[in-house]
A and B are shown apart, each in its own frame.
Chain A
């Protein structure tokens, strides 16, 4: 069977499954639409969170990032998992106890302020919308590469699928499709990893293979030592050693952790479990399911890098020590050249591919990091069904994250803005209709931006995490842990944390990402203390904490019913007064 037919079959089968689930899990009430009726088992919610969290970026780009950055990519591995500790211990159980539908709703109630609620809605929509554009792009790319359909067709098919299950089923439909999508994506990610690990080290478990000897033979070098040596010999930086500045790595990790814990579409997932103690354990299950991919990714990254280097510059066999002849390049090389993600330029005119760390002499002028996962099965010569599976996995990762984000956007429009502020008398039935319409509009807007990506599409992850870290996380955490924080303090804190983070990002990337308006070139020499714009969210969070605390202590304490609210959410059961 041809690869393309196989891919159509596998992707088509997964789509049929998602639609089947959508029909089974329709939402009849607002409670089902926003929080799946609070009836999701904690382990299943963990799986759904895994799919919600792991986006096209985690599935497609992360291993490639690791492959080319080595140790320095650890910021993503620790940052995107460590946030779950903060979520489990500082936010999720308390917000579940509060038992409402959205994150801005808690902020609005706790700080008895519609301004606070609106600020939270704006942060939520900006963070989620920027994030969802990347997913839409991912869906289009996966379709065009694997099914050879035009980018737009892929995007429309993806939008239609999300439309069916998210508009009909709301959180309930999204949850059960995410569980199916998790299974598809994790299977698609680990199968090639196991094959490659077996091939290189004889160990079927990639997490152990990464520490093993080459070929599983104790007389050979360790895989990581071999990779370090190969790279250093060709003028690259050592794979296992730090290259960047320590303060930046530290703050970058911290920003991603705080941002992860503050992203509303992830927090809302823990509103769907039946009890407070389920919320605690469910965060643990989420991280188990996420960790399966996140501990496999470093092995995929290192092994893919080694495979790539060995293909271009073999260290054993008959061509040992010689650069690969351009005319003898493998098929996957040609396929990816066509997409423009891989570019070769014969600078010295010898007809051979010279891939070295020195940019003057390097002839692999472009190696897009996304290739590492997508082409990995081809580079490792795996069977066609594995390649088809990777396509289905990438689409599942993008769809599941897009649905979660779109739901967060739709809920904040229908529940926080419409029902909460504009029309509090709205009936449950009309709110449900409003939330479906909001969802349909959100899909349309996301699709529009997917087709016409704004120039800043690549930069927005920094913005999403920066916003969540500097505004939402501190407001939620202080709302639970510091009773004395009042409305004025919280709003000042959120605005100042957000403000300083945005200004710092815009300073180097241009105001509203118009590159020509940047105040200084985005290079480490210009950064304040060497802190990258992406790493600044943690600083914004500190500013938020400090301002909220100081302003609250010089303005009146929150009213008594708010103090009781805080006491109530701190315990799982009912407080007797």
Chain B
């Protein structure tokens, strides 16, 4: 399809989004679903099987951190490329 690169700022944004979504995928679909059974052999915070913990606790905490990390990095990118609001 047509050129959709949209300049340096947009490419940096896309790289950041992809990086964040890889982590998003790994903690939920990876640790919480696909590898949950294997991870359950490890226990954390006392009696939590690790796979179960990721599925019902850990993935949610990670999502929160990811969004704030993304917001923080994007604000930096806005300033670096001079595209912030007033």
A interface residues with partner B (beta carbon < 8 Å): 66, 71, 74, 77-78, 81-82, 84-85, 88-90, 93, 207-208, 210-213, 222-225, 240-242, 246, 249-250, 253-254, 275-277, 280-281, 283-284, 287-288, 291, 294-295, 298, 482-484, 549, 552-553, 557, 567, 570-573
CB distance from A229 to the nearest CB of B (A): 12
Would you give the shortest CB distance from B12 to chain A, in whole angstroms? 12
Q: Contact at A82–B63, with CB atoms within 8 Å?
A: yes
How far, in angstroms, from A280 to B16 measured CA to CA in the complex?
A: 14
Partner of A283, one of B17, B46, B67: B67
Nearest Cβ in chain A — how far from B41, in angstroms? 12
For the complex, give the distance between the alpha carbons of A5 and B83 in Å. 58
Interface residues on chain B, size class: 35 or more
B14 CB to closest chain A CB (Å) equals 8
Q: Are B61 and A88 in contact (CB under 8 A)?
A: no
Q: Are B57 and A207 in contact (CB under 8 A)?
A: yes
- Cross-interface CB contact of A89 among B21, B29, B56, B75, cutoff 8 Å: B21
Known: A88-B70, A89-B20. A253 touches B52 (CB 8 A): no
Q: In chain A, what residue has the closest Cβ to B68?
A: A284
Q: Which residues of B contact A (CB under 8 A)?
A: 1-2, 4, 6, 9-10, 13, 17, 20-21, 24, 28-29, 32-34, 36-37, 40, 44-49, 52-53, 55-57, 59-61, 63-64, 66-68, 70-71, 74-75, 78, 82-86
Q: How far is the CA of A81 from the CA of B32 in the complex (A)?
A: 13
Is the CB–CB distance between A295 and B57 below 8 Å? yes
Q: Main secondary structure on chain B at its contact with chain A?
A: helix
**Which residues of chain A come closer than 8 Å to B63, judged between CB atoms?**
81-82, 84-85, 287, 291
Shortest CB-to-CB span from B77 to chain A, Å, is: 10
**Complex Cα distance A275/B83, Å?**
13
Contacts of A224 in B (CB 8 A): 47-49, 52
A70 to chain B, nearest CB (A): 9
- Report chain B residues within 8 Å CB of A549: 1
Tell whether A573 pairs with B85 under 8 Å between CB atoms, given A71-B52, A284-B71, A295-B60.
yes
B52 touches A484 (CB 8 A): no
Shortest CB distance B4–A (Å): 5
Q: How far is the CA of A280 from the CA of B72 in the complex (A)?
A: 9
Give the dominant DSSP class at A's interface.
Answer: helix
A43, B71: Cα distance in complex, Å: 14
CB-based nearest A residue for B53: A211
- State whether B67 touches A88 (Cβ < 8 A): yes
Given A250-B29, A277-B75, A294-B60, 16 additional A-B pairs, CB 8 A? A77-B56, A81-B63, A85-B24, A85-B63, A89-B20, A225-B47, A240-B49, A242-B37, A253-B29, A253-B33, A254-B29, A295-B56, A483-B4, A484-B1, A484-B2, A573-B84
8 A-B interface contacts by CB (under 8 A): A71-B55, A71-B56, A77-B55, A84-B63, A89-B21, A224-B48, A241-B37, A573-B83
**A284 adjacent to B75 (CB under 8 Å):** no
Known contacts A213-B46, A567-B6, A277 near B17 by CB under 8 Å? no
Contact assessment for A210 and B4 in the assembled complex, using a CB-CB cutoff below 8 Å: no
Nearest chain A CB to B75 CB, angstrom units? 5
Contact indicator A295/B61 (Cβ below 8 Å): yes
User: In the assembly, what is the distance between CA of A346 and CA of B17, in Å?
Assistant: 58
Q: Given the complex, which residues of A lie within 8 Å of B2, measured CB to CB?
A: 483-484, 557
Contacts of B67 in A (CB 8 A): 84-85, 88-89, 280, 283-284, 287
Roughly how many angstroms separate A573 CA and B49 CA in the complex, as a whole number? 47
Chain B residue contacts of A66, Cβ below 8 A: 56
| Closest A residue by C-beta to B46 | A211
B53 cross-chain contacts in A, Cβ below 8 A: 211
Contacts of B64 in A (CB 8 A): 284, 287-288, 291
- Using CB atoms, name the residue of chain A closest to B75: A277
Given A211-B45, A291-B64, A557-B2, are A240 and B52 also a contact pair (CB < 8 Å)? yes
Tell me the minimal C-beta distance from B45 to chain A in angstroms. 4
Chain B minimum-CB-distance residue to A73: B56
Q: How far is the CA of A224 from the CA of B45 in the complex (A)?
A: 12
Given the known inter-chain contacts A84-B67, A89-B20, please indicate yes or no for A298 contacting B56, CB distance below 8 A. yes
| In the bound complex, CA of A240 to CA of B56 (Å) | 10
Q: Which of A89, A210, A277 lies in contact with B48, CB distance below 8 A?
A: A210
Q: Which 4 A-B pairs have the closest CB atoms?
A: A222-B47, A74-B55, A280-B71, A284-B67
Within 8 Å CB of A552, what residues of B?
A: 1
Q: Which residues of chain B are near A295, meaning CB under 8 Å?
A: 56-57, 60-61
CB neighbours (8 Å) of B83 from chain A are 571-573
Q: Which residues of B contact A81 (CB under 8 A)?
A: 59-60, 63
Check if B85 sits within 8 Å of A275, measured CB to CB.
yes
Set of chain B residues within 8 Å of A241, measured between Cβ atoms:
37, 40
Q: How far, in angstroms, from A280 to B13 measured CA to CA in the complex?
A: 13
| Beta-carbon nearest neighbor of A250 in chain B | B33
Which of B9, B29, B67, B74: most chain A CB closer than 10 A?
B67
Q: Is the CB of A212 within 8 A of B46?
A: yes
Bound CA span A66–B55, Å: 12
CB of B85 within 8 A of CB of A211, answer no
Nearest to B69 among chain A residues (CB) is A284
Contact call B74/A280, Cβ cutoff below 8 A:
yes
In the bound assembly, the distance between CA atoms of A81 and B78 in angstroms comes to 27
B85: chain A residues at CB < 8 Å are 275-277, 572-573
Is the pair A246, B70 in contact by a Cβ cutoff of 8 Å? no
